[in-house]
A and B are shown apart, each in its own frame.
Chain A
Amino acid sequence: MTWWKRSILFQSASIDKWLQWLLRAGAVMAALIMVLIMLFLLLESWPALQHIALIRFFTDETWHPLEDHYNLLPMVTGTLYASCGALFLAIPLGIASALFMAFYASPRMAILYRRLIELLAGIPSVVFGFWGLTTLVPMINQWQPPGASLLAAILILTLMILPTLALTSHAALTAVPGEYLRSAAALGLSRWGMIYGVVLPAARKGIVAGILLAAGRAIGETMAVLMVAGNVVQHADSLFAPIRTLTANIALEMAYAMSDHRAVLFVSGLLLLLLVMVLTSLAGWLGKEHHV
């Protein structure tokens, strides 16, 4: 072994060890926080899980926690409807804006547009809710009363997750190697042929990750939805029916909930966590490379 190899080895061995411990500590901390939150949720919801059969959260007649009726299902569907509706609108819009930024806009226009989208991402959710309450809800009210509705929630959520989708998709699109673009052009592919055939498949993983992030935000969003959704606990039978989401439910009732009621709210927190977990695994599965 030559002298320089040894000296590098010795030096880096001690630095390496430090770094290893530092990184390990960081990783353990992050994992621990997650585990502790889970434990906390479980602990707080334990009384409810003990007294109330799990099936009752889905089969009780209504949500009247003070009268011992704990049906969470309308809130679950409310959350799902609102999030899925928002994703349905925001995914095409977000990907379209990302494609525009990356391939169609002039460089100056693209920068301007990107700044705008970043600004949209930075607007606090309560401001969205505010705008929804004072503008969107009255508009829907004129068309289909009462106004505060599933539709309002979907539209507000769409606005909120659109920048997330656009920015993550744009990052994924610009990460596609330039060689692919040159090769595609050299094969005489049109711009759209290149985007559809090469760029989107290559950027697929990044885009799916962005959709996951957006879905997480849509499911977890509380304030803005609470302000526009009407918060009636019911299965929405139309887009114009008011709904209550799981998160809004927690925010609305936590202040006065006691004993079992309080514990059930924690159960709904667990349920939210479960939803997000299902979503994550779904995204992982979708993000795997499929070659057709």
Chain B
Amino acid sequence: MKPKSDMTDYLNDREVLNPAQPTCDKSNAYTLGPLQTGPYCCIPEPVIQVKDLSLFYGAKRALDKVTLAIYRGCITALIGPSGCGKTSFLSAINRLTDLIPDCRVEGAVQFEGNDIYDATCNVQQLRKQIGMVFQKPTPFPLSIQRNIALPLREHGITQRADIQVITEQVLRDVGLWDEVCDRLDAPALSLSGGQQQRLCIARALALDPQILLMDEPCSALDPIASSVVEDLINRLNGRYTIVIVTHNLAQARRIANYAAFFWVKERERIGHLVEFGHCRDIFETPTHPLTAAYVSGTRG
């Protein structure tokens, strides 16, 4: 259990982070109308540096020498065809690759200057700071409340009052509070798909991560639920660093500050990074012909 003063600091920090940062005003960025791209991001300060990352499943190379930087407070979209290693790349950032037998990673991923594949890295702590949301909503078969309390307890926040405060806060953040505040003890699996996904986002946010990895968070949802989640991601922009895998190019264009375009070599089936840059540049003035073909819809 943290000392009380620490706890209050922690909660205060959350309060401070809460209002949208003025440097990154995106209030008009989300629209279902004509496509707009997000603005150039505020401070290009790398929080994650990926250097020559290669990923193997057994002997098969799935991802070849990816080098890119994830910038603090920005949304980075990973786009590209299926099988090009976007999801593998994402799970290499929070070491979820550890769970896959035979999966091996080469190269370096630096989070705040420390190599996460170093033997001294505390993986649990790392995953607390780098949250993840999956394609399929995966609330645990517990009550709504317990879904959020479980990871908090694991990370040392055990006071009931603290848990309640955080639960309300994160549920408000994802716009779920008004929908579920009178039935927090209801099973999480009784929620609709979109609500479940927002609960999963809330559960990740409860740990107050710096980075949120999202693996196609909207693609298992219907269009309306999907737009609600997209709206939410927009609101989180600036407060969290977000890396999002998406097959929806329009969505990437609407919400992302940076975009990374992955491609898979036809023969060897090896994924690699083709182009990385400001989202607007990737979509409007791509330098690589493959990128141009993909974003204009002629390949992919």
A: which residues have CB within 8 A of B?
A: 107, 177, 179-190, 193, 197-198, 201-202, 289, 291-292
Contact = CB atoms under 8 A, between A and B. Distances in A.
Interface string B97-135: 011010000000000000000000001111110011010
A80 B143 CA distance: 35
Contacts of B125: 188
B86 interface: no
B138 A197 contact: no
A185 B141 contact: no
A289 B186 CA distance: 11
A107 B203 CA distance: 31
Given A187-B203, A189-B154, A197 B140 contact: yes
A202 B151 contact: no
Given A183-B140, A291-B185, A291-B187, A197 B99 contact: no
B146 A188 contact: no
A201 to B, nearest CB: 6
Contacts of B127: 185-188
A187 B151 contact: yes
B140 A180 contact: yes
A188 B128 contact: yes
Given A188-B125, A188-B126, A189-B124, A201 B151 contact: no
Contact of B141 (A186, A187, A201, A292): A201
B246 interface: no
15 contacts: A182-B99, A182-B134, A185-B96, A185-B127, A186-B96, A186-B127, A187-B127, A187-B150, A187-B207, A189-B151, A198-B142, A198-B150, A201-B142, A202-B141, A291-B146
A190 B122 CA distance: 11
Nearest to A198: B140
Nearest to A183: B138
Contacts of A197: 140, 142, 150, 153-154
User: In this complex, which of B132, B151, B186, B203 has the most chain A Cβ atoms within 10 angstroms of its Cβ?
Assistant: B151
